[in-house]
Amino acid sequence: MSSFFQKQQQVAALDPRLGGLMASAGLYNLKALIKAIRSCKTLADERSLIQKESAAIRTAFKDEDPFSRHNNIAKLLYIHMLGYPAHFGQIECLKLVATPRFTDKRLGYLGIMLLLDENTEVLTLVTNGLKNDMNHSNMYVVGLALCTFANIASEEMSRDLCNEIEKLMGSSNTYIRRKAAICAMRIVRKVPDLLDHFSDRTKQLLSDKNHGVLLCAVTLAIEICKADEEALSEYRKAVPLLVRHLKALVTTGYSPEHDVSGITDPFLQVKILRLLRILGKDHPQASEAMNDILAQVATNTEASKNVGNAILYETVLTVLEIEAENGLRVMAINILGKFLGNRDNNIRYVALNTLNKVVAMDTNAVQRHRNIILDCLRDGDISIRRRALELSYALINESNVRVLTRELLSFLEVADNEFKLGMTTQICLAAEKFAPNKRWHIDTVLRVLKLAGNYVREEVLSAFVRLVAHTPELQAYTVQKLFSALHADFSQESLTLAAVWVIGEFGEVLLQGGNFEDEELVREVQAKDVVDLLSSVLDSPYVNEHIRQFVLTALAKLCTRFQNDPAQQARIEQLLTKFDQSIEVEIQQRAVEYVNLLRRKDIRDGVLESMPPPEIRQTVLGTVSESKPVGSTRSDKDSLLDLMGDEMPSGTNAQASPLNGGGAARVQQSTHDLLADIFGASDSLASSTPAGIQATPAASKAKSSVNDILGLFGDSGSSPAPSSTAAPVSNNSSSFGGLDLLGGDAVPPPPLVGAAAATASPSSAQPPSTTQAPGAKAHTAYEKNGLLITLTPTVNPARPDITNVTARFTATGSSEIRSINFQAAVPKSQKLQMQAISKPDVAPGSTETQAMRVMAPNGAQIRLRLRISYAIGEAVQAIQDQVDWSQPTA
């Protein structure tokens, strides 16, 4: 660069006039500019040179020198392609187009295509120039105008020049017809309303003998058929003509003008196949007319090169899209199967991707290529492995579930971590759906837990626990297998959770042993071995809060299972005592509860007896969220309620996960029902006791037992209750299904549902509370037509983010308020759980209650939208009203 300027200074020194001329004109031509730019050693040098040259070009444009305009525009376009601004040359390009010289026109149109787009205001000046050149006697000038139009035409320009393009499509010159067809395609895309102008012309061009014209005509026909349904039906009449063209291309011999790797004009063949695919879709007659030629193309095309593979792939897509015969579909799938054996990864990926789309269409045909699909699981390309996995899932059925599951488990051992979460879910879902027997189902899930226990969703784990609970004949086998697997590996979280849960529930079965053929089974297990294992789990580096919760519950249950081993019972109590000062509040609370419960030998066996088998729930393939965490991230006592009630409509049934100690529980089941189940009372006891009738002795006994438990911690449970109903007791259960033995609130919190609105249900009603938390203040939310509704919010001291709200309904008038239906909704950032109203009918002067719990971010204001429906006295017409209530600031 420096040498270049030195030479320029030397010339200026010899002749000052010549030096001034060079400075004003810049570099002589494009070749000199390119050479100078390439000689720049730094980006700053290049930028400086471009700036000087751009200034010189501007100066030359002002001089209106027609002879230098061509060189300057050429240099300016090169500068533009380097990324520097060149918009100031737009008008000069228009001037260059107006000159009669062909070379100037060519450069001017090139500049217009590069420097202008359809949104440029200067574009309106180009329309007249294009129109004149489209009527030029030189076909190459016409071609320049058509090429420019096809690149930059706007909607307005398309409307102005539509007639010119239509006329040129009928030209006798094949060169012009071909370019005019491409311009028509631009108009159809920009202004679909104008496609009627080109429909007839396109049909004529489909009969053209020239391959270039025919290629452009087929491309235009595809655009027209996509844009207009009526035109699609008209073009179906051209199917025989297209079939003849395709047949001629397939059967013709060597044609040097159109030959590509031994195949005649593959580009035209592909375009015709695409048009046939559009015309044959959902049309049996058109499909039947093209069946034979598609079979001929599929059998006569050489697949050794990419050119042939492209034609075969388009043929496969066409066969699968139209109403083809079954044999033709099988042949198309076989072609995709051959693609899987190709060395080119791109071809294999395309084949797998297409098979994924058609596997539901003809599963048996795809099944023939199962082995090569499974081989793709070992491919080095991660994209191919992913597509092969998706296809393998879709191929699983009753007849091949054993083989495919075995292959998938083998791949699971070496799979990348990003595959494992989806694989474990799909394998377990397939085992659940197609398992030949329960033994195989259990073995498969156990294998998954061993190989990828850290990548198993909670839904899958819950389904496995339900399966074990409902298969008593295999419980001994399963518990020993889990005991052996856990003894060998603590690192898999889901394996640990499943083993601890099953051992805690069926510990006595584990001690009985069994006669099994599997060598891995532990044949003789002592109570000491079980306690040692759970103690080792607590001490392992892989333990977390969730696992500790499970282990503590399992130890408490095992204490009742090992009745004949007092030493191990004492050891279990010692293990639990170690956690009564844990920094994890939930662990500490459970440890204290369980230790005190184990000391009450009169009730502990009933409380810690085996859970009833939870209700079987069918898992639906594909409904599990990919982003859901592996294990439950909630360790507090509200996790069960959140699992049961999150976004659940009111009045529906919910089932708690067996991992959380739930079993089958109704959403609005009363506390008395829960306790009656625990203490062995009849399931129909509470539901068969009408309101206002004295509870039966069995119910009183259950209540007494609960009061005895609460009495352990200083709560006598002697708060007054109406004599006509059983006393309410909290069922604020932990995430293990145990009782909240520590009590807590002055007003026991009700069983909650996680719905945004709840409807009163007399069957689950509880008597109104007569006490109020200290410092709680009632706020009037609604007062009309003799009905007063007050809301009393109280913050839970242990959980500042939870606010208990008690709604009180008082009939202030002389008429009875009947059929009260109270619903509430909260913003998305908050969660609402509601209990049913104590009684939907309120007598004059009396008060009924309904409890709610709102979970909101710390410091957030509680906001409720209330909807109230009720009737007054003997009136038939119900009154409906809606109000908004916000928690007053302190």
Q: Closest Cα partner for 549 from 512, 588, 514, 520?
A: 588
Q: What is the pTM for the complete model shown?
A: 0.61
Q: What is the pLDDT of residues 244-269, one digit of tens each?
A: 999 999 988 777 888 898 899 999 99
Phi, psi of 316 (to 5 degrees): -60, -45
Region of 299 on the Ramachandran plot (φ > 0 left; ψ -120 to 50 alpha; else beta): alpha
Q: What is the pLDDT of residues 106-157, one digit of tens each?
A: 999 999 999 988 888 888 889 999 999 999 999 999 999 999 999 999 999 9
Tokens 């839904």, residue located: 459
**Cα 602 from chain centre:** 52
**What structural domains and CATH numbers belong to the chain?**
1-115 (no CATH), 118-227 (1.25.10.10), 473-607 (no CATH), 669-744 (no CATH), 752-890 (2.60.40.1230)
Alpha-carbon gap, residue 326 to 433, rounded angstroms: 29
Asked whether the predicted pLDDT for residue 629 surpasses 70, the reply is no
Alpha-carbon gap, residue 879 to 875, rounded angstroms: 10
> Containing H/E element for 57?
helix 43-62
For residue 594, the model assigns a pLDDT of 92
Return the exposure string of 822-858: e unless at least 16 CB atoms fall within 10 Å of the residue's CB, then b: bbbbbeeebbbbbbbbbbbbbeeeebbbbbbbbbbee
Collapsed DSSP state (helix, strand, coil) of residue 733: coil
Neighbours of 603 (CB within 10 A): 16
Q: What is the pLDDT of residues 721-741, one digit of tens each?
A: 333 333 333 333 333 333 333
Task: Retrieve residue 527's tokens.
Answer: 């109570």
Q: What is the pLDDT of residues 414-438, one digit of tens each?
A: 998 999 999 999 999 999 999 999 9
The torsion defined by the Cα of 738, 744, 745 and 750, in degrees rounded to 10, comes to: 0
Q: Average pLDDT of 612-640?
A: 44
**How many CA atoms are closer than 13 Å to the CA of 117, on its beta-carbon side?**
1
Q: Closest Cα partner for 274 from 302, 213, 241, 316?
A: 316
For residue 660, the model assigns a pLDDT of 45
For residue 478, give Cα distances in angstroms to 473, 492, 502, 503, 524: 10, 17, 8, 9, 15
Q: What is the pLDDT of residues 71-100, one digit of tens each?
A: 999 999 999 999 999 989 989 999 999 999
**Signed CA dihedral, 507, 513, 517, 520: sign only:** positive
User: Of all residues in the chain, what percent carry a pLDDT higher than 90?
Assistant: 52
Q: Average pLDDT of 165-170?
A: 95
Q: Looking at per-residue confidence, does 798 or 783 come out higher?
A: 783
Q: Average pLDDT of 335-355?
A: 92
Which has the minimum average pLDDT: 371-385, 666-680, 828-842? 666-680
For the chain, give the mean pLDDT.
Answer: 79
Pure H helices in 252-283: 266-280
User: Of all residues in the chain, what percent carry a pLDDT higher than 70?
Assistant: 78
Q: Looking at per-residue confidence, does 262 or 688 come out higher?
A: 262
Q: How confident is the model at residue 839 (pLDDT cuts 50, 70, 90)?
A: confident
Alpha-carbon gap, residue 52 to 69, rounded angstroms: 17
Q: What is the pLDDT of residues 636-654, one digit of tens each?
A: 333 333 333 333 333 333 3
Q: Average pLDDT of 845-857?
A: 89
